[in-house]
Structure 1
Amino acid sequence: MNRAYTLAFVALLALLPLIPATPEFWITQLNYIGLSSLVVIGLVVLTGVGGLTSFGQAAFVGMGAYTTAYLTTALGWSPWLTLPLCLTVVGVIAYGLGVVTLRLSGHYLPLSTIAWGLSFFYLFGNMEAFGKYDGIAGVEPLSLFGWSLASGRGIYYLIWGLALAAVWATRNLLDSRPGRAIRALKGGAGMAESFGVDTASYKVVIFVYAALLAGISGWLYAHMQRAVSPSPFGLNYGIEYLFMAVIGGAGHVWGAILGSTVVLVLKDQIQNWVPRLFDTTANLEMIVFGVLLVVVLQYARDGLWPYVQRLAGARAGRRAARGGEEPPEAPPLPQRPRPTEGEVVLEVEAIRKEFGGLVAVNDIGFRVRAGEIVGLIGPNGAGKSTTFNLITGVLPATCGEVRFLGKRISGLSARAIARLGVGRSFQHVQLLPGMSVLENVALGAHLRSNVGVVAGALHSERAREAALLHEASRQLQRVGLGDYLHEQAGNLALGQQRILEIARALAADPVLLLLDEPAAGLRYKEKQELAAVLSQLRAEGMSILLVEHDMEFVMRITNHLVVMDFGTKLAEGPPVEIQSSPVVLEAYLGGVDEELAHG
């Protein structure tokens, strides 16, 4: 949101309770909107950004509410002292649930959240200590410096202060190093693993983060209502929170407040008007919400918030497309030591990959030395990309061994191999199209910083973040994309996207660079520029292994070639020998490259 509009919104929120003419109902409604917004902000991170659907957030609200209600009524605790324990209880339970349920994928994950959400609802209603379905009454109201927060106007500022703090912290988090990793979970998890992102851990992190925000909402709810019972923490409320996230804009933090407002105002109006229009007391709001959700998904899949942005004249999702300001100067990131020229960097010995009865890679072996470019060539289906995936840990080898700088890496995860200094691009471009070019490259430097979730949310990592962005900018300038720093990656042409992948790999400070068809889709001039970049990297001591179909490009820049056919190594040697090899010409290169051999 534009800063001026943000300030105006905050000022309006602050002034409303001070105006005597403001109806008490408005204050109560705004309090419920603020409580719901806390839960929905967590869902924006979990579902809208992270791609993990949960119907069980109402259960975490209940945990926070019941924990403080029990401690204040049964044990006489101060309400403020119960908040840390509420967060501890919610966090521990969420961590346990996350470790178990986030291993599931597809429709199994949301089904599992329904299952444990229902379980907690019935647990709340059957525990003697919690008053069963009657709940707990007489919860002590909050007070601050002698000022009672028992009234709606009294607790209003605390609710909205925490809600706006959650917006601030969440926006900070998503714009940080861990935020880029979180944004990669939805549609780019495999790619992110290849740059050292522990995607499984980040899934648990955002699951706990969303649960903690829901727990804070529950704590506030208990002291605002001064009573808790199971009914507000059932599955229907879990579905309602998801409605709010989707209608507001599941990928937009401010959309959480918009969605909460729309749903709760509509809910109230439906409850007022339906009995008058249809002469019924039936609960019909869920039907209306269902229709509304279908309409939003059909005509506004990103929710209502992008429309609000456009009406306000704000730029949604990115800064200036071209010519945006470069990141500020920052100290260079540390670089790993480079092997001496000619030292063996990669040794592949008799690696084999079987898919059932199909042998995709058949006992392939070769070496890559420091300061040389090795080409892996062969017709489509020869097993080149599979060989890449075996080297980088994306696929496990059936047998054989891969060593990097003398250390065995076969059997290690893609994340562990990336940590050692292996960078890569992909046969099919794998970028995060909704993120800027600069942010995509900064994701490649993930392992070169140690900024955590708390530092990101509290905005305390600016110096380290500046260093990451400066490194990303440097690599983009290096490959000729310096004019596109703030452009969305999905808006680039295919050739530019391939070069962007190389910049992202370079940001990881690799010793060995694996490029899978980097020249595919590039125009002649772009290929010349790419060849110049790769030649410069070789001169700097970089080791490069590349797969490529453009024979003119390969013959011009490589020191050594390995030819594959049907998963086996057909030939190996300098480009001049490969060009003139009768076996290779017959099996792969064909007439086009016979001309190369004689030309």
Structure 2
Amino acid sequence: MTSQNNPQKKFLIAFLVVVALLPALPIPEYWITLLNYIGLAALATLGLVLLTGVGGMTSFGQAAFVGVGAYTTAYLTTQLGASPWIALLAGLLITAIAALAIGMISMRLSGHYLPLGTIAWGLALYFLFGNFEFLGKYDGINDIPALTLAGISLQSSRAMYCLIWAILMVAILSVTNVLRSRPGRAMRALKSGKLMPEAMGVDTAWLKVMMFVYAALLACVSGWLYAHLQRAVNPTPFGINIGIEYLFMAVVGGAGYVWGAILGATVFTVLKDVLQSVLPKLLGASGNFEIIVFGILLLLLLRHARDGLWPLLRGLFPAAPPVHAPDSAEALPQRVKPQAGALILQVDSARKQFGGLVAVNNVSFDVRAGEIIGLIGPNGAGKSTTFNLVTGVLPVTSGEVRFCGESISGLASREIVKRGIARTFQHVHLVAGMSVLENVAIGGHLRSDFRPQGGIIASMLCLNRNEEAKLLHEAKRQLIRVGLGDRLHDDASSLALGQQRILEVARALCCDPSLLLLDEPAAGLRYQEKEALAGLLRKLRSEGMSILLVEHDMDFVMHLTDRLVVMEFGTKISEGTPQHVQNDPVVLEAYLGGVD
């Protein structure tokens, strides 16, 4: 592992050395000023990389939070004589409270309503800055004191340069640490939708709010630095136009890549500066012609490099080492399985209606500990809908679902997986761009003593290494168990469909379930792979695990299950052993149209 880390570490050290030496070199002051603005923009854009590129949530309001940080320090230092460092803490607190309140409303929006919502509150904060008397209205606040660090005054651009880029490097390190951790994997899973993360125990609504607050705090720090660099603030740099520019930087650099924030900020800032100088000379008039050029360039970028510029350039730099599982680690705690034969799942007259359509019609069946139950029927029989009722993806219209004697009918998916029910999906739900190992590790999101609220902070500071080692080792163990131990570091999307289904089984096992729900696990598998899967499921049954599976491969089902439940048009038409079901005239009628 050390050898894999060396190229990346050497590159980082070389980059930091160059950044640190620049102000000591005899380069023009103008370049230093430009680099300061690049650093400030990259810090704000980094929040959008996390929010938009990783989480898939578009926000146009990042500039407003830059304004909160700038105005807080401007007011406290000029009007109340507070220390700039105290003002920074106050700004972070105010930003966190405001972002929490705004995020709990806007992060629940989806589709085009989310960006529209961010525009709305971004404009609201902008006009608040310009209309409050104590903030100087549109004239703003002047005479902001320079920062002092360890008795050294940071009045010059070169002095501020060192602080800006040092904070930016720390921010990049913190975001990188988070994304390579348990909460970071959950964040990266959000872009594929909330169905799978919720089924693995992720509180997606709360996680989105936490990401929103994190991004806002990065913007606040950028605003604080901006105020003490400029020594004056007014509302203009915090309007919706600047919010659009930050989003543009994220898209140009590569919205899903941490280093794309610096690349996008550099390209945008330098290009904007050049165009503002060159275009008026070419066109013979002053004006915002650069906006037209940026629009054309963005269209070309989206056409030819939708993931931004960083993916095109990262081949020139050493790749980050993959997340590795340790060879040995302390085992994660395991739940006690119910005694063999104990009643574990009861589906009692479960009914699901979508308007006038009855998808599941008063279906009842039981699952006992140590049983493999097959749920079969023609296409459209309601099998997957029944799965969704059991796992909380859909609420029951009437009836009840009980697990180990407790009603789980009204619980969310993340609450049901806590109780010991894990599942796979009819259509594979994996996180593309994430390794096989990390995809499986998502299944252990709730294992051990993990707390989502404190997990992000612990990940930023690398205080969770022991927990990470245990979780990754467990994920590796499950992959070896299902026969994918040689594909740990491959991109999950590069696997064949059958292997992706096996990967989903490993992820479900990482949840440490008492009841395992498998939706068409044998689809796409070759004969030997089916035999290996059947052997694994029999082994799990012998260990006390209960399995409920939906499958169309009758040969696979008949040789594996203890009992079968047959559905047609949302109704249960038969239940019994495979031999009984094979000879049931009602089943033969449903499958074959009747047999003489």
**TM-score greater than 0.5 by the shorter chain:** yes
Q: Does the residue aligned with 1:394 lie in a helix, a strand or coil? A: coil
User: Residues 325 and 469 of structure 2 are in contact (CA less than 8 Å); yes or no, is this contact kept in structure 1?
Assistant: no
1:12 maps to a residue whose letter is: V
Over the residues paired in the alignment, what is the CA RMSD in angstroms?
1.4
| Counterpart residue number, 1:156 | 161
Q: How many angstroms apart in 1 are the aligned matches of 2:592 and 2:330? A: 48
What letter matches 1:195 in structure 2? M
Give the 3 Å change call, closer, same or farther, for CA 177–565 of structure 1 in structure 2. same
SS of the counterpart of 1:447?
Answer: coil
TM-score by length of 1: 0.96
Alpha-carbon distance in structure 1 between the residues aligned to 2:11 and 2:173: 15
From 459, 464, 473, the counterpart of 1:461:
464
Distance 1:326 1:228 in 2: 49
- Partner SS for 1:508: coil
Q: Partner letter of residue 7 of structure 1?
A: I
Cα displacement (A) at 1:475: 0.2
Matching of residue 134 in structure 1 with residue 133 in structure 2: no
Find 1:100's aligned residue among 76, 87, 105.
105
Deviation of the 1:5 alpha carbon: 2.0
The residue number in structure 2 matching 1:260 is 265
CA distance in 2, matches of 1:534, 1:328: 25
Q: 1:326 & 1:110 partners in 2: Cα distance?
A: 38
1:196 and 1:440 map into 2 onto residues whose CA distance is 14
Distance 2:127 2:193 in 1: 37
Question: Which letter does structure 2 place at the counterpart of 1:360?
Answer: A
C-alpha spacing 1:252/1:408, structure 2 compared with 1 (3 Å):
same
Aligned to 1:86: 91
SS at match of 1:361: strand
Deviation of 1:465 after TM superposition, in Å, equals 0.4
In structure 1, the partner of 2:119 is 114
8 Å contact 1:361–1:383 — kept in the other structure? yes
Counterpart Cα distance in 1 of 2:13 and 2:548? 53
Q: Which runs of 5+ in 2 are unaligned?
A: 1-6
Query: What is the identity percentage for the equivalent residue pairs of Structure 1 and Structure 2?
Result: 62
Q: Report deviation, 1:3.
A: 2.6
Asked if the contact 2:324/2:472 (under 8 Å) is kept, the reply is no
- What is the CA distance between 1:325 and its match in structure 2? 6.2
The aligned amino acid for 2:467 is R
Q: Tell me how far apart the structure 2 counterparts of residues 339 and 32 of structure 1 sit (CA, whole Å).
A: 61
Deviation at 1:2, TM superposition (A): 2.9
TM-score, with normalisation over the residues of structure 2? 0.97
Matching residue of 1:173? 178
Quick one: distance in 1 between partners of 2:589 and 2:62? 63
Aligned twin of 2:436: 437
Provide the residue aligned with 1:416 in structure 2: 415
Tell me which residue corresponds to 1:373: 372
Residues 50 and 244 of structure 1, relative CA distance in 2, 3 Å threshold? same
Provide structure 1 residue ranges, at least 5 long, that are not aligned to the other structure. Answer: none
Q: After superposition, what is the alpha-carbon deviation per residue over 1:176-219, rounded to whole angstroms, capped at 9, x for unaligned?
A: 00001111111131111011100000000000000000000000
Corresponding residue number in structure 2 for 1:523: 526
CA distance in 1 between counterparts of 2:358 and 2:239 reads 52
Matched letter for residue 67 of structure 1? T
1:516 positional shift: 0.5
Query: What SS does the aligned partner of 2:432 have?
Result: coil
Distance 1:120 1:433 in 2: 37
Residues 426, 257 of structure 1: CA spacing in aligned structure 2 closer, same or farther, 3 A cutoff?
same
Is the contact made by 1:188 and 1:432 (CA closer than 8 Å) also made in structure 2?
A: no
**1:557 pairs with 2:563:** no
Which residue number in structure 2 is paired with residue 273 of structure 1? 278
Question: Contact between 1:248 and 1:304, CA under 8 Å: does it hold in 2?
Answer: yes
- Tell me the residue number matched to 1:42: 47
d(CA) in 1 for partners of 2:326 and 2:431? 20
1:203 to 204, 208, 214: 208
CA distance in 1, matches of 2:380, 2:96: 48
Counterpart Cα distance in 2 of 1:7 and 1:193: 39
Structure 1 residues 348-400: Cα deviation after superposition (integer angstroms, max 9, x where no partner): 11101111111111111111111110000000000000000001110010111
Q: Give, in whole Å, the separation in 2 of the partners of 1:247 and 1:552.
A: 52
1:589 to 1:513, Cα distance in 2 relative to 1, 3 A:
farther
3-state SS in 2 of match to 1:376: strand
Q: What residue number does 1:15 align with?
A: 21
Write out per-residue CA displacement over residues 460-511 of structure 1, whole angstroms, 9 at most, x where no aligned residue: 1011001110000000000000011011110000000000000000000000
How many equivalent pairs are there? 586
- In 2, distance between residues paired with 1:286 and 1:8? 35
- Give the superposition deviation at 1:311: 2.6
Q: Which amino acid aligns with 2:565?
A: V
